[in-house]
Amino acid sequence: MANDSDGITGGEAAGTAVEKAAPREVASGVGVVASDRIENPGFPPHRPRVTDEDPKKNYAAERTVSILFYLSIVGSIFAVAAYIAFPIVPGDPGSIRLNNALLGTGITLGLLGIGFGAVHWAKSIMDGHDLVESRHGTRGSDSTRAAAVEVFRLGNKESGFTRRSLLRNSLIGALVVTPIPAIALFRDLAPAEDPVGLLKHTLWDEGVRLARDPEGTPIRAADVTIGSAFHVIPEGLEDSEHPLEEKAKAAVLLMRLNPGDLNELPERADWSYDGIVAYSKICTHVGCPVALYEQQTHHLLCPCHQSQFDVANHAQVIFGPAKRPLPQLPIAVDEEGYLVAQSDFTEPVGPSFWERSL
C-alpha cells in the first residue's frame, strides 16, 4: 500500500530513496529524508567581551588569574605545613579532626585556585571565537591497514610465536604466574591476627556495666522504660588502649519491650532482663551502625541499605541485604540494679566474611 504520510511512497522498490521535496540520489537502501528539516542556524554573531575591547580590563583579568594561581600555591604549601605542624596523635580524635580540617582546607584552596584560574583565563583572556572542528573518518586507509597486518605477520614470523609452542606456552605461563607476588603482598595487608578472633572478642565481659554512649554513665534497669532505646558502650571504654576501635566492635543498642511481645529463642531465655534486650549495633551487612528504632513495630533499621531487624524475634532479618541477625549481648542486673553483660558476644559482630566459621 502507498504510504505518503511518512514520506515512503508505495511501489518504491528497495534501493531507492524518496523525498517529498527536492529528491536526491541515494546509493542503496531506503532513505527517508524529512522535507521540513531544520536548517543549521550556524553560530551567533561574535560578541566581543569587555576584555577584548578594553586593555585595562584585560590586564585586570590577567592579574585575577595570576592571583588565583598564587592562591593555589599558598593553599598547597599550607596543606603540607599544616600536615607537619599539626600531626595526628594516636588516640586523640581532636588531633585527627584538626589535621583533616587544615589539610582539607589547604588542598581545597590548591585545587580551586588552579580550577577557577584556568576557567577565568579561558573565558576572559583567551580568544573567544567559536571554532568548528570537523570530524573525519577513523578508518585507516587500505595501505595503512595492510601495513599493520604485515607488521603482525612479520612479528609472528620472526618471533616464531605460533610455530614455537614451547616458547609460547612458557611465556603464557610466566604471564599468568607473574601477578601472584602481588596477591601475596596484598594478602599481607590483612590483619596478622585471626580476623574471627579480632571481631569475636570485644570489651564486653561478665559483669561489665552497660553505659550510655557517649557519656559513659552506667544504666540502671529501672531507667529503661518500655519503648525506649539506648545507645550503649561498655563502661570504662575510654580507658582502653584503642577506644575508637573497641567502640566500633562493642557498640550496642538497648531496648525495652513488653515482655509479652518478646519471642525469645529457648537457649537465650535468660539473655534478657524483664523485656530489656541488647543487640550489637553493627549491621551484619557491611557494618553501618543500625541506629533507627521503630518502637511500635520493634524494628531496627539500618540507614545504609535499609536492612531491617525484628527485635521482638531475636533481631532476625526481615528485609534488606543483611544475611544474619544482629548478635545478641546476654545481659543481667547486678546487686545495685545496673545492667551488666553476662559475657562477651558469642559470635563475631559485624559483616559476614569468608573466614567466619559461624
Binding region for ligand FES (CB under 6 A): 283, 285-288, 302, 304-305, 307, 320-322
CB under 8 Å to 219, separation ≥6 — which residues?
209, 210, 211, 212, 230, 232, 254, 338, 339
Which strands form 210-212's sheet, in the order they lie side by side? 210-212, 229-234, 252-256, 276-280
Nearest to 263 by CA among 316, 210, 224, 339: 316
Q: Which is nearer to ligand FES, 256 or 285 (CB)?
A: 285
Q: Which is nearer to ligand FES, 272 or 307 (CB)?
A: 307
Distance CA 249, CA 282 (A): 7
In the complex, minimum distance from the CB of residue 306 to ligand FES, in angstroms, rounded to a whole number: 6
In the complex, minimum distance from the CB of residue 284 to ligand FES, in angstroms, rounded to a whole number: 8
CB under 8 Å to 306, separation ≥6 — which residues?
319, 320
Three-point CA angle 218, 351, 191, nearest 5°: 90
Distance CA 232, CA 250 (A): 9
Which strand (E) or helix (H) includes residue 19? strand 17-19
Output the nine-digit C-alpha cell for 14.
528497495
In the complex, minimum distance from the CB of residue 329 to ligand FES, in angstroms, rounded to a whole number: 18
Q: Which is nearer to ligand FES, 18 or 286 (CB)?
A: 286
Distance CA 157, CA 321 (A): 55
Nearest to 230 by CA among 316, 339, 84, 105: 339
In the complex, minimum distance from the CB of residue 288 to ligand FES, in angstroms, rounded to a whole number: 4
In the complex, minimum distance from the CB of residue 308 to ligand FES, in angstroms, rounded to a whole number: 9
Q: Which is nearer to ligand FES, 293 or 338 (CB)?
A: 293
Evaluate whether 198 touches 191 at the Cβ level (below 8 Å): yes
In the complex, minimum distance from the CB of residue 311 to ligand FES, in angstroms, rounded to a whole number: 15
In the complex, minimum distance from the CB of residue 350 to ligand FES, in angstroms, rounded to a whole number: 10
Q: Which is nearer to ligand FES, 7 or 321 (CB)?
A: 321
Q: Which residue has the cell 518502637?
A: 295
Q: Which is nearer to ligand FES, 7 or 287 (CB)?
A: 287
Q: Which is nearer to ligand FES, 164 or 305 (CB)?
A: 305
